[in-house]
A and B are shown apart, each in its own frame.
Chain A
Amino acid sequence: MTHVYEVFRQERKGQPLQHAGSVTAPDERFAEIYAREQYGRRQESVALWLVPREAVSEVAGFPDEFEMKYRRVDGYSIKARLREARERAGTLQMAPGAGDE
C-alpha cells in the first residue's frame, strides 16, 4: 500500500514554497527520505513540505455564464482604451511611446 505525497520546496529563505512534484511512498517516513533525495540532494532546496494527497482539498467549478470579461486580467485591451482616451483628450502626440504599437 503506497501513498502519494505532494512535495513543496523553497529555493531560498524568504521565497514562497512552490509545488515541486510528488513522491510515492509506503508512509511518511519513507516519503521524507525520498523527498530529501529527489528534491534536496543537490542543495536546490532550503525547506521541503510534504502533504499527503488525501489532505489536499480540490476546489472545483469556475462558472462564467455571463462572460464577465471585465473581471479577467486579459478581459480587454487597456492599450486600445488608453489610445481612445488620449485621442479624446488631444494628448496623443504627447504620450510617451504612443504610436509605436
Chain B
Amino acid sequence: MSERTDRLLAIADDELILGWRNSEWTGIAPFLEEDVAFSSIAQNEIGHARALYELVAAELGTTADELAFDRRPDEYRCAPLVQLRRLEWARTIARHWLYETADEIRLEALRASDDPEVAGMAAKMDREEAYHRMHAEMWVDRLLAAESGRARLLEAVDELWPYALGVLDDELRPELRRRAEAKLGRALPDVEAVPRGVHEAELAELWEEMTIVRRSAPAGARW
C-alpha cells in the first residue's frame, strides 16, 4: 500500500468512525435543534469518508463499501480519539472540538500537497469542515463562559488530550497544542500521544454494530 493510500485511508477511517460515534446522539442530544445539527454533521463526516474511500478504492481496485465494512477491526487506521465511546455531552463536545482543530491542521497540510487529487479533496472537505469548526467553537466558547461548563469542558479536554495528539503526525502536534491552548487560555498537560494503530476495545463493539447488516446479507445483495 502506497504512503498516499495509507494516509487517505487513515483520514477516511477517522471520518467514518467519528461520524458513527457522533450519530450515536441522534434522538438523544440535549435538545431538538442540536440533535438535528449534530446528526447532520455526523452525516457530513460519513460523506467525507466515502469520498476518501473512493479515492483509495480506485487505486486498490476495490470499492468504498468494501473498505468501510469488510476489514477486520484491527485493520482500521483511525486514531484512538474517534474510537472512544463517550456518550456524555462535555466529552462529546471536547472530542468534537479537538478533532476539528486537528483536522483543520491536517487539511491545511494536505491542501499544500503536490498531488492535485489529494489537494483538491482536502479543499473540498475543508469547505464543509468550516461549519463543523464553527459549531464546535461556538460550544467551546459557550461552555468556557460559565464556571460549571468550563470545569466540565476542561476536565474532558484534559482526559482526551493524549488522544487528540494522536490524530496528527509528530510534526503537526505542536501546532495543535498552540491552537488548543490559545482557545482555552491555559496550558494543556505534557503527555505522550496515544498514536494511530492502537485499537481500543470500543472499536470492536462499534464494528460489530456497524457491519452487522453487511455481514448478514449474502455477497452481491442489492438494496
Contact = CB atoms under 8 A, between A and B. Distances in A.
A27 to B, nearest CB: 8
Interface residues of B, number: 13
Contacts of A17: none
B131 A33 contact: yes
A interface bracket (residues with beta carbon within 8 Å of B): 10 to 19
A35 to B, nearest CB: 9
A37 B37 contact: yes
Contacts, number: 29
A37 B138 contact: no
A30 B93 CA distance: 14
A37 B42 CA distance: 12
B131 A24 contact: no
B138 A34 contact: no
Interface string A8-39: 00000000000000011110011001101110
A41 B44 CA distance: 10
A41 B40 contact: yes
A23 B33 contact: yes
Contact of B40 (A25, A29, A30, A37): A37
A56 B34 CA distance: 24
A38 B131 contact: no
B109 interface: no
B179 interface: no
Contact of A26 (B37, B135, B142): B142
A41 B33 CA distance: 13
Given A30-B138, A41-B40, A25 B131 contact: no
Interface of A: 23-26, 29-30, 33-34, 36-38, 41
12 contacts: A23-B33, A24-B31, A26-B142, A29-B138, A30-B33, A30-B138, A30-B142, A33-B131, A34-B37, A37-B36, A38-B36, A41-B40
